[in-house]
Amino acid sequence: MNLLVPLLLAPLFSSAIIMILPNKKLGKILFLTTGAIHLTIVFFFWFEKPFPILKGWLELDSLGLLILSLMSLLFFCASIAATNHLAHTTLLRNRDKTGRKVLSEKKTLAVMLLFLESMTLSTLSQHLGLFWIAIEATTLASAPLISYHRHPRSVEATWKYLLICSVGIALAFIGNIFLSLSITDPGSGSTVSLLIRDLAASGRPRDSLFKTAFIFLFVGYGTKIGLSPLHTWLPDAHSEAPAFMSSLLSGALLNGAFLGILRISTIYTAQGESAFIQRIFMLFGLISLLTALVFMIRQKDYKRLLAYSSIEHMGILALGFGLGGRGVYGALLHLLNHSLIKGALFLTAGNILALYGTKKAPKVRFMLQKLPGSSFLWITGFLAITAFPPFGLFFSEFIIAKTALESGRVLVSIIFFLALTLIFIGSAYLFLPMVLGKDGAREPGKKETPLSLAVPLLLLVLSLLLGIYFPAPLAEVVEKAVLYLGGSI
């Protein structure tokens, strides 16, 4: 049997069953099991690639496998965090302690599974129309989870997210139409299907339409990635969502949308337009880097800082892919590490928020005393995300910077180094005071649960391992993905 079928059906069925099940505990078990099954199936794909289904519309290539594995791993972590969170919050008629309504437990679990389903579909789609549907579905499935706490702030964030992303994705649809109009079949002269490989192999496209299509697609999916200046919804949504959801949004969903643009870019590379798209990638990458820099210096809200950091790293990714050559390799490594670290950081931020009840960093002090475990994770995460040497991000940023210098782009490298340094200083200014210091009264805060520490720890350790030791099967898949994207190792 083809394992793609259960991979796609499991979340869908489980989510339906959870809605019907009367017992909450059973629902949670089913939820966790589904996450585990998903992860197991994806693990099997590393040994044996599944056959494409639906006439090649759904196919797992190396790049898809990388991103799907990250997504599945992060979802499994988030599912543990979510059930852990639900087990430690007492709700009375779906209202929390402050009397605010939250999304009911059943709906939370069911919608999260639908989110997993749509993300999985997006990594598998080789057809641009199907990919569009999947990405729009990820927006819709994540929106209810962003307004999990029905606080005015989260409702506001959800509205911005829903409207800005939906309109953005609608623009990507216009891009799809332009693309299908611009490419004609060499034999019959009719339009070809929107399958990536058909588009890449087709005859010479109509030039201006072909380029117009890329701009629409880039702006459309770029909105979903949060490339500046299309990022305005991102800090709001990522900071207002509950921790387990933020980690998925930053760690998994951004990659999913990026995957789309990368697949589209292979069409343009195949048609000999790589210089054109590389310029666009680099431009948006640098703008995102600088925008993130402006908002990260003296940022007071630690979850917003993490969200802006996601914009920064998406900018670095775009820059790496834009540089081409070895930059593609660096960017792929960067993507892997960023997801792991950002997932860990958002989950840790959830622990902090649970104790202090505020997202304002100046109000969070003496963490070392009150949350020793989370303090360790927070500082380690800080070092990891600002690319300190043993962690994987150091190597990926090093490769990207080296590529930029080697290709003679001095200005780009200067901006890159300057932005990274200033962002490091800005982040240190927020992260470090939160942890350090002692207050006189030794009030033992709410206890950290072992699970709430173990999950982020696992992700950070993985990123550390990626920095030190790169296993052979992973290296092989990364190499294939890099070649697919037209880069070199």
Partner 1 sequence: MYFSIEILILFILLSDLLLLASSRILLCIRTLALQGILLSLLPFLIEKEDLELHRLLLGLLALILRGIVFPLMIKRTVLKVGVKREVEPFIGFTASLFLGVLAFVGCFILDDKLALPISADHRFLLPVAFFTIFTGLFLIITRKKALTQVIGYLVLENGISTFGISTLAKDPWFLEVGILLDLLVGVFIMGIIVFHINNEFDHIDSHQLSMLGDWKKGSITNYLNAEREDK
Do residues 110 and 12 lie in contact, with contact meaning Cβ atoms separated by under 8 Å?
no
Cβ partners under 8 Å of residue 399, min gap 6 = 320, 326, 327, 329, 330, 333
Q: How far is the CB of 56 from partner 1 (least distance, A)?
A: 13
- Number of alpha carbons in the 13 Å side-chain half-sphere of residue 432: 9
Nearer to partner 1, 240 or 448 (CB): 240
Q: How far is the CB of 253 from partner 1 (least distance, A)?
A: 16
Nearer to partner 1, 184 or 369 (CB): 184
Cβ partners under 8 Å of residue 116, min gap 6 = 11, 34, 35, 38, 71, 75
Q: How far is the CB of 142 from partner 1 (least distance, A)?
A: 10
Do residues 62 and 96 lie in contact, with contact meaning Cβ atoms separated by under 8 Å?
no
Find out whether the peptide bond into 229 is cis, omega within 30 degrees of 0. Answer: yes
Closest CA to 118 of 12, 243, 33, 221: 12
Nearer to partner 1, 358 or 488 (CB): 358
Nearer to partner 1, 212 or 369 (CB): 212
Q: How far is the CB of 208 from partner 1 (least distance, A)?
A: 8
Q: How far is the CB of 176 from partner 1 (least distance, A)?
A: 8
Three-state secondary structure along 381-439?
A: HHHHHCCCCCCHHHHHHHHHHHHHHHCCCHHHHHHHHHHHHHHHHHHHHHHHHHHCCCC
Nearer to partner 1, 106 or 326 (CB): 106
Backbone torsions φ then ψ of 328, nearest 5 degrees: -65, -45
Q: How far is the CB of 159 from partner 1 (least distance, A)?
A: 5
Q: Which residues bind partner 1 (CB under 8 A)?
A: 127, 129-130, 132-133, 136-137, 140, 143-144, 147, 150-153, 155-160, 162-163, 166-167, 170, 173-174, 177, 180-181, 184, 191, 206, 209, 212, 235-236, 239-240, 295, 298-299, 304, 362
Q: How far is the CB of 463 from partner 1 (least distance, A)?
A: 28
Q: Which residues of 254-293 are buried (b: 16+ CB within 10 A; e: fewer)?
A: bbbbbbbbbbbbbbbbbbebbebbbebbbebbbbbbbbbb
Nearer to partner 1, 271 or 403 (CB): 271
What is the greatest pairwise CA distance in the chain? 81
Nearer to partner 1, 366 or 391 (CB): 366
Nearer to partner 1, 23 or 190 (CB): 190
Q: How far is the CB of 129 from partner 1 (least distance, A)?
A: 5
Q: How far is the CB of 482 from partner 1 (least distance, A)?
A: 31
Nearer to partner 1, 111 or 333 (CB): 111
Q: How far is the CB of 29 from partner 1 (least distance, A)?
A: 27
Nearer to partner 1, 45 or 131 (CB): 131
Do residues 235 and 307 lie in contact, with contact meaning Cβ atoms separated by under 8 Å?
yes
Do residues 372 and 447 lie in contact, with contact meaning Cβ atoms separated by under 8 Å?
no
Taking the CB of residue 9, how many other CB atoms lie within 10 A of it? Answer: 11
Q: Please state the length of the chain.
A: 489
Q: How far is the CB of 177 from partner 1 (least distance, A)?
A: 5
Q: Helix (H, G, I), strand (E, B), or coil: what is residue 94?
A: coil
Distance CA 36, CA 49 (A): 19
Nearer to partner 1, 19 or 489 (CB): 19
Backbone torsions φ then ψ of 195, nearest 5 degrees: -70, 135
